[in-house]
């Protein structure tokens, strides 16, 4: 193994351990340290839902890395999808939460997951993955699902942005959600859908990453909707069916795409 590959392997290992251990600490702290979150009660409940889901997601990072080192190429794609979730997730904590004692922890988690994604994207063998005979119908179905997630969301958020320009009325959702959706989530999802539809090498990679992230963060949204409903004894979030579709669709189409990517043994 070359010195460059050794450095990348060690970097990925350490970054994975950092993100896993620190996200567990951050989740436990958020759940059990009284007064850590200094936001409104509504936002606090959203953070708590996030912490519960992350607590279950975090241990999957070292597991998928271990499976990848044993020759399962599919595990690297799942690992990258989980890192995409961590990157997106802790962007909310870093830029959206009121300043608290875990701020530096959020900085580390955001940065470590970002660099993990960069290394993963630079080192993944897209052509080797593309050479697996993935069922064409599965690709088309997954591509359509991704489009159905991204395109309506794009129009809804652009409509609110344009409405503000014209009328001066603030959008219904926080600016940070618009910022992350319009700059990261929607472009990546549309790109994954197009590349998958056109059967390009990067299609499988971006699609599986996006589907894993959809499943993970969809779980956060479902948990938040339920916790807020139970805590406030009010009506369920009307977007709960959409959140559930993120979970179910991300899981089903992610499994379908991964199904034909057989593990390659050997280093």
- Directed axis angle between helix 3-32 and helix 60-69, to 10°? 160
Domain spans of the chain, in order of start = 3-259
Distance in angstroms (rounded) separating the CA atoms of residues 197 and 211: 15
Distance in angstroms (rounded) separating the CA atoms of residues 181 and 193: 16
The pLDDT score that the predictor gives to residue 147 is 96
Q: What is the DSSP letter of 262?
A: P
Burial of 246 (0-12, 13-18, 19+ CB in 10 A): buried
The pLDDT score that the predictor gives to residue 233 is 64
pTM of this structure: 0.91
The pLDDT score that the predictor gives to residue 265 is 43
The pLDDT score that the predictor gives to residue 250 is 96
The pLDDT score that the predictor gives to residue 2 is 55
Number of helical H runs and strand E runs in the chain = 11, 0
Low-confidence residues of the chain: pLDDT under 50: 264-267
Distance in angstroms (rounded) separating the CA atoms of residues 3 and 46: 44
The pLDDT score that the predictor gives to residue 5 is 67
The pLDDT score that the predictor gives to residue 133 is 65
Q: Angle at Cα 114 formed by Cα 243 and Cα 158, nearest 5°?
A: 45
The pLDDT score that the predictor gives to residue 87 is 97
């Amino acid at each position: 193994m070359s010195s460059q590959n050794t450095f990348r392997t060690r970097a990925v290992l350490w970054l994975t351990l950092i993100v896993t251990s620190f996200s567990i600490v951050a989740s436990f702290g958020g759940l059990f340290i009284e007064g850590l979150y200094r936001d409104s009660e509504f936002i606090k409940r959203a953070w708590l839902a996030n912490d519960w889901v992350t607590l279950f997601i975090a241990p999957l990072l070292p597991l998928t890395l271990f499976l990848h080192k044993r020759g399962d190429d599919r595990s690297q794609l799942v690992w990258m999808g989980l890192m995409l979730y961590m990157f997106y997730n802790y962007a909310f904590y870093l830029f959206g939460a009121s300043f608290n004692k875990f701020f530096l922890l959020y900085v580390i988690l955001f940065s470590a997951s970002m660099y993990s994604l960069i290394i993963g994207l630079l080192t993944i063998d897209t052509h080797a993955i593309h050479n697996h005979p993935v069922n064409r119908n599965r690709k088309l179905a997954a591509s359509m699902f991704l489009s159905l997630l991204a395109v309506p969301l794009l129009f809804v958020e652009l409509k609110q942005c344009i409405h503000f320009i014209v009328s001066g009325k603030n959008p219904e959702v926080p600016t940070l959600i618009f910022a992350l959706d319009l700059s990261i989530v929607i472009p990546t999802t549309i790109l994954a859908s197009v590349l998958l539809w056109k059967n390009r090498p990067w299609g499988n990679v971006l699609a599986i990453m996006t589907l894993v992230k959809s499943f993970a963060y969809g779980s956060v949204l479902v948990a938040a909707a339920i916790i807020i409903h139970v805590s406030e004894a009010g009506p369920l979030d009307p977007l709960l069916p959409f959140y559930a579709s993120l979970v179910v669709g991300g899981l089903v189409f992610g499994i379908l795409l991964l199904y034909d990517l057989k593990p390659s043994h050997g280093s």
